[in-house]
Structure 1
Amino acid sequence: SLPQPFYSSFITLTNHFPFEIDEKDQLIDEYDSSSDLLNRYVTTVRYEDEALKHFIKRLKDEGLYENSMIVFMGDHYGISEAHNEAMAEFLGKDEITPFDNVQLQRVPFIIHIPGITDQKPETISDAGGQVDVRPTLMHLLGVNTKGDIQFGNDLLSDDRTPFAVLRNGSFITNDYVYTKNTCYSQKTGEVLEDREACLPYKEKANEELSLSDKILNGDLLRFYE
């Protein structure tokens, strides 16, 4: 009933800690591992899938689906490192390495745009972070952000460097993963003997985190008009 165009944001709660769900709402059995938390997590992921299906159907029934840009994204990882033993079992691995822990930070980012007929749906695998979401959506909506203060970049731009930095200083590019003072190959997960390959990106990561801290801790946006 809102006047169009409008923006609306929803957060799904069932697929959050402590991942508890009524038995009548469980669409699959719990996973069987040493972690009760991971076991429950699997059932809430399946529940969320079903909820999203009903959400899309409702949009179609209300006549909103073909007139809406729809964005699905995760806001953080699902299971913490405290459950690595069970996670290794779930993924069929001998262990979860620091490289794996960074990879498990990945979240879905899916954009549905109606009316696009000149290209087919595409999966883009470049590294990016949540700071890139706003610039990307503003670009797709045709909003000029040239004068805006933002750390992110349009994920669809040919000029950006695929890159994402985590709060603990770890970072990800298309070629490298750096975490706990170790440089890994993004493609193989193997430790690289040549740590110099990660150094330029390490400087970039440190600079971005430092600038972010200065803005937040100093409340510097109060000076921005």
Structure 2
Amino acid sequence: MSTMIQNQTRYAIIVAGGAGTRMGAKIAKQYLPIGGKPVLMHTLARFYALDPAIQLRLVLPEGDFSFWRSLCESHGFTLPHQLVKGGTSRFGSVRNGLDSISEESGLVAIHDGVRPFVDGQVILRSYEVAADVGSAVAVVPLKDSIREMQGPDISVFRDRGQFRLVQTPQTFQLSKIKAAFAAGEQDFFTDDATVYEHMGWEVCLIPGNPENIKLTSPEDLDYANYLLTKGDGGI
């Protein structure tokens, strides 16, 4: 681990405020079990396994706090983390996570709670690059051909080599991302990188890992259990 990031406090904001309606389950997707444990526990463990010194913030709907605590008790989950009340939008949830950090300097990784298979080396690299240049956003190449719709019945080919699929973590120097979120929400913000970019700062891309999918459907849960069984995603 580089001296540059060792000398800075590192945070991780795990955002898990969604209802997960596409799963068709009675509880939100972040609490569904894979490998015998709720998804969120796997996600938090990824960051803790990299370095227990990373300060974890878990952003949940306030009404879920007691349910989450009961899950932690029943699963014997004791990794240290601080619960933060979610907002009415993802932007609001991330902003609340940032507001829970009293310090103004350091590094913060913002990560989707339902991406439990992020590779530890991706997390580490994101902190290293963000410490150096301000931001680090995990991305992967496209595998499929793509076409741009320019009307109801009109489409044009686009070179997939010029595009990337954006993942998380999206990691930033704390002072900069705090300033970006303090500037207010815009309708066109789709992720934390666009909030940062809106300030006129350049977003730096780093390679993600293909297994780092966002669990949104029952098929994704099947794939998650496969990864755990196969050993590629074991925690």
The answer, yes or no, to whether TM exceeds 0.5 is no
Larger radius of gyration: 1
What TM-score do the two structures reach when normalised by structure 1? Answer: 0.26
TM-score (ref. length: structure 2):
0.25
More strand by share: 2
